[in-house]
Amino acid sequence: MKETVSDVFFDKSYAKPLLTLWMLRFLFELGTVRKLIDDKGVHNNEVMEFLNLDYKNFDTNELSTQLKALHDDFETRADSILVPEPLATNILHLKESLNLNETECTIIAFAVLMQSCPLLNDVADWYGTNLPTSKYMYSLSIVLDKPENAIRQALSQQGILTKSNLVTVDDILDFSFSNRLDLLNRSFSDRMLNTPTTSDEWFKDLVITSPLPELTLNHYPHLSSTLPYLISYLKSVLKENSKGVNVLIHGVPGTGKTQLSRVIAKEIGYEMLEVAMSDAYGNPCSGSDRLRQFSVAQSIFKGAPSLMLFDDIDDIFSVADFSEHHSTAANRKAWLNNMLEINPMPTFWICNYPSELDASFIRRFDWILEVPVPPKTLRETIIRKSCGHVINESTIKQLAQSTELAPAIIARVSKVVSSINHVHDTEELSKVTYGLIDSVLAVQGHQRLHKNTSTLPDYYNPEFINCDADLAHIATMLQQHDSARLCLFGPPGTGKSAYAYWLADQLGKPLHIKQGSDLLGKYVGETEQNIADVFNEAIQDKAILLIDEVDSFLQNRNQTQRSWEVSAVNEMLTQMEAHQGIFIASTNRMEGLDGAALRRFDLKVRFNALKTEQLWKLLISFCNSINLPTPEQKFYTQISNMTEVTPGDFAVLGRQHKFRPLTDIEAVIEALAKECAYKQPYAKNSMGFVK
């Protein structure tokens, strides 16, 4: 273990006179001498040795007389017994920084030496526990030889020592005397006993200078509508020296919140100090310790041209375990609320889950900024920049589909995979990257990656879709009017999702695809938040949003059985109403949709099985795609009786062909007939639109 100044303190005799004076005052002025010596003998040999009394060769009466004479001698020359160096010089610097008075300086000296001298602790603790605050203040006034009113004022809630959290008196009465007087921390005490230096050195484990950011504003294009105004606001309040300026930056882990605060500080041109997460000896700081460090740093550095960063505040605002009833912040609610209104240095507060914050805290933030997972286009750019040299393009696009894939995950996996790219090829590294990211998402409780194999075949043509609208004309009009809410309904396989792919390609837009099951949450309110998130991301990415199986959320509210089902419908309706992009909902169960939802769709398009003419054209295109000759006209009559064929059946045949080749047109028609036959038993009892 690292040796501290306190551990070797008694090798330094310069503090001994003052320590002796204080010990003697405890013994005689406060009447604890019988804890040291009485008729039965000496009860603490170390204290007697420290006072230079030969307790081995004298009886107790002679020792008591010598002890009293020592006390009288020290009181006679008390005015000449000064705070030792280097503590005195360091306290003088602190006095200038915090504008302290003499009583406050004496209390700091006492607290530092008390924490550094176990024997002074022992003697002080003889005075007892369960001391009322009034009696505690009185005893301090006696030992330090200061007016009691001055001691009370120095340690009051309005005093500098308490407001800065440098020295406080604990309210827990059953604490011992020494434990009631709470100094900032051990390392501060050690530094105050070291060679005189600057306040920056004393408090270097309270805050650290923030490193320069690794990113720039260009890495946050999805926040471009907000950041310029936030930066302007901070420049204004810094110029005016405004107090109580606080910015809450939140978002799921790994989205770049800490980096963003550093980017903003650099953009403004100010240094930033970060509340330390570990002390001088590498030990982690608790939430209450970090709050205290923040308070002291705000007092010490209030005149400095700096911003402050309080990162990872979740441990302060959340309950640590089931044994605790309140969070660290809740236990200090009034104090923290006041601090949020008077802190002299503008502060960034970083958290992952703002729902943990009490409403009274939230309303005191000047600016609340969410840093979400970047939209799909930006995710793809980040993946390509980080991993593009080691993975293939197909994997890049598959990874970018995940709406939970934060930049920090990408960076970490890229570091791992890049370290082995000299021994493995791109295909292998693509699989490894995919697997690593999939595992991280799963452990974090997010939806796992799923490979999107739903791509359009080369022979796709909207003319092959049997519906009650001109799909090509709709695409043309949407190129002029970039907002629509479409409901595509009909039996499975009729081409509803395929049309969304084709439309996105025609409009040159990304397509965001969500299954209804993707949006279901495990906790109260999570489903509604998921619904809101997918609409917001589509807007950010300027993408078409397709929600398949939308009946999962838009079922008739009169038929729901649970309150959360109603809430989900309401949230979906709200998002549909406000959405300014293109939203496509597909369903096989039109009859179960909520009436209010139906009114919100600009166009409802019914998809059906293929007409004979469409079936014939699609058959020709499919045969050509698998290198079969164009079917002869005689086969037209054969397929004219097939009324249940859908474009999805051809997709099934395409997949079958990979492992069970279709060698001629007869085999293709036979396979189509089987697919239709499978539908017949279910068609009779179908609740949807299957005939």
Q: How far apart are CA 523 and CA 525, in angstroms?
A: 6
The pLDDT value given to residue 453: 52
Separation of alpha carbons 603 and 485, rounded Å:
7
Report if residue 505 sits inside a domain.
yes
Query: Alpha-carbon distance 586 to 582, whole Å?
Result: 13
Please report, for the domain that includes residue 485, its CATH number: 3.40.50.300
Count of C-beta atoms within a 10 Å radius of residue 568: 25
284 and 325 within one domain = yes
536-563: burial string, b at 16+ Cβ within 10 Å, e else: ebbebbbbbbbbbbbbbbbbbbeeeeee
457 part of a folded domain: no
Q: Which pLDDT value is given to residue 2?
A: 39
3 state SS of 586: strand
Domain extent, residue 316, equals 205-370
Q: What's the angle, vertex CA 574, arms to CA 572 and CA 578, rounded to 5?
A: 115
Question: Residues 396, 387: contact at Cβ < 8 Å?
Answer: yes
Which pLDDT score is estimated for 554?
75
Q: How far is residue 386's CA from residue 410's CA, in Å, rounded to a whole number?
A: 7
Is residue 175 located within the same domain as residue 293? no
CB 367 within 8 A of CB 247: yes
* Spatial distance between the Cα atoms of 585 and 516, rounded to a whole number of angstroms: 10
169 bridge partner residues: 181
Is 445 within a domain? Answer: no
For the segment 625-654, what is each residue's pLDDT rounded down to a tens digit?
Answer: 999 999 999 999 999 989 899 999 999 999
Domain boundary among 316, 336, 370: 370
Per-residue pLDDT of 479-501, as tens digits, reads: 888 899 999 999 999 999 999 99
Helices (H), 388-470: 393-400, 407-418, 426-443
pLDDT value at position 54? 82
Are both 186 and 213 inside the same structural domain? no
Q: Residue 102 falls within a domain, yes or no?
A: yes
In a shared domain, residues 214 and 335: yes
Query: Domain for residue 543, yes or no?
Result: yes
Query: Same domain, yes or no, for 524 and 595?
Result: yes
| CB 264, CB 220: distance < 8 Å | no
3-state helix, strand, coil split of the chain in percent (to 5) is 55, 10, 35
Residue 48: inside a domain, yes or no? yes
Task: Judge whether 688 lies within some domain.
Answer: no
Separation between Cα atoms, residue 256 and residue 274, nearest integer Å: 16
Q: Mean pLDDT, 10 residues at a time, over the chain (691 residues)?
A: 39 77 94 89 90 81 90 94 90 88 95 91 89 92 96 92 88 81 84 72 76 93 94 95 95 94 96 87 83 87 88 79 61 84 94 87 94 88 92 90 89 94 92 94 85 69 93 92 92 92 88 83 82 89 88 65 71 90 90 81 94 94 93 91 92 92 93 86 40 30
Q: How many domains are there within the chain?
A: 5
Question: Is 472 buried (19+), middle (13-18) or exposed (0-12) by CB count in 10 A?
Answer: middle
CA-to-CA dists, residue 524 to 1, 432, 458, 552, 598, angstroms? 48, 35, 44, 17, 26
Residue 570: the pLDDT is 85
Q: How many CB atoms lie within 10 A of CB 123?
A: 28
* Residues 6 or more apart whose Cβ sits within 8 Å of residue 411: 386
Pair (513, 591) in one structural domain: yes
Q: Are residues 578 and 636 in the same domain?
A: no
pLDDT at position 79: 92
Give tens-digit pLDDT for 507-537: 888 888 888 777 887 777 788 888 998 998 8
Do 577 and 571 form a contact (C-beta atoms < 8 A)? Answer: no
Q: Is 144 helix (H, G, I), strand (E, B) or coil?
A: helix
- Whether 483 and 591 map to the same domain: the answer is yes
Alpha carbons 70 and 76: distance in angstroms, whole number: 10
For residues 195 and 3, give the distance between their C-alpha atoms in angstroms, rounded to a whole number: 16
Q: Which amino acid is at 357?
A: L
For residues 406 and 540, membership in a common domain is answered with no
Handedness of CA 290, 296, 299, 304 (dihedral sign): negative
* Domain assignment present for 430: yes
Please, which residues have CB within 8 angstroms of residue 158's CB and are 6 or more apart in sequence? none
515 bridge partner residues: 548
**CA angle centred on 476, ends 470 and 480, rounded to 5°:** 135
Q: Where are the alpha helices (DSSP H) in 609-664?
A: 612-625, 634-639, 647-659
Identify whether 118 is preceded by a cis peptide bond (ω within 30 of 0): no
654/510 same-domain check: no
- Is residue 336 within 8 Å of residue 291, measured between CB atoms? yes
Q: Among candidates 222, 579, 553, 269, which has minimal Cα distance to 376?
A: 222
Q: What angle do CA 358, 359, 364 make, to 5 degrees?
A: 105
Whether residue 56 is found in the same domain as residue 150: yes
Tell me which of 580, 606, 632 is where a domain ends: 606
Note whether 549 and 517 are same-domain residues: yes
